[in-house]
């Protein structure tokens, strides 16, 4: 496990507490639950400009941004790319594939060098309490993104 290999016990506890307090997808977790979830997680590093997720591909994992920024890009008509947003520290992406198992709806590219945690769907279900918490948190994140999108659509429709 990359967490145990990289941190002393006190540093690991401090990191887990920080993740629980600052990363919405981990909200409400205990340190033990988060450690259990992250036991199978992988640390991934992407250099600026590298593609992390490709639109249209299938996936059974999500990412959490530990450091850096990544942008969301959607292919439009005439193959024109549209930037839909930017993710930064504490944000997650790729979580929709865990919910509906549909192909990725957009591409994610590293804007800066990024340090990410990659969590597989199977790790979310090893413990039903952990699974319930992470999927509840994902639902909250997706609901907020939908509310934000509604606000943008409504503000663009004003004359």
Quote the pLDDT of residue 2. Answer: 52
Q: Is 62 helix (H, G, I), strand (E, B) or coil?
A: strand
Q: What is the pLDDT of residue 4?
A: 53
Q: Considering only CA atoms, which of 87, 93, 123, 102 is closest in space to residue 3?
A: 123
16: buried, middle or exposed (CB in 10 Å: 19+, 13-18, 0-12)? buried
Contact (Cβ atoms closer than 8 angstroms) between residue 46 and residue 27: no
Q: Rounded distance, CA 67 to CA 55, Å?
A: 23
Which helix (DSSP H) or strand (DSSP E) does residue 42 occupy?
strand 42-46
Tokens (6 digits) for 40 = 């199978």
The confidence score (pLDDT) of residue 53 equals: 97
pLDDT in tens, the chain (159 residues): 455 556 566 777 777 888 888 899 999 999 999 999 988 889 999 999 999 999 999 999 999 999 999 999 998 777 788 888 999 999 999 999 888 989 999 999 999 999 999 999 999 889 999 999 999 999 999 999 899 888 888 888 664
Task: Please state, in angstroms and rounded to a whole number, the distance separating the CA atoms of residues 47 and 140.
Answer: 30
Kindly report, residue by residue over 109-148, the tens digit of the pLDDT.
999 999 999 999 999 889 999 999 999 999 999 999 899 8
Q: Give me the pLDDT at residue 3, please.
A: 58
> Do residues 108 and 52 lie in contact, with contact meaning Cβ atoms separated by under 8 Å?
yes
In this prediction, residue 98 carries a pLDDT of 87
């Amino acid at each position: 496990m990359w967490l145990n290999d990289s941190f002393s016990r006190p540093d690991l506890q401090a990191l887990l507490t920080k993740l629980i307090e600052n990363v919405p997808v981990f909200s409400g977790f205990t340190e033990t639950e988060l450690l259990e979830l992250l036991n199978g997680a992988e640390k991934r590093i992407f250099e600026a400009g590298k593609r992390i997720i490709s639109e249209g591909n299938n996936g059974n994992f999500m990412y959490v941004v530990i450091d850096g920024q990544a942008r969301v890009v959607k292919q439009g008509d005439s193959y024109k790319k549209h930037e839909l947003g930017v993710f930064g520290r504490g944000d997650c992406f790729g979580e929709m594939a865990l919910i509906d198992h549909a192909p990725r709806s957009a591409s994610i590219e590293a804007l800066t060098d990024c340090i990410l945690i990659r969590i597989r769907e199977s790790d979310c279900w090893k413990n039903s309490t952990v699974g319930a918490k992470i999927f509840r948190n994902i639902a909250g994140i997706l609901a907020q993104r939908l509310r934000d999108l509604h606000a943008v659509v409504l503000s663009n429709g004003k004359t």
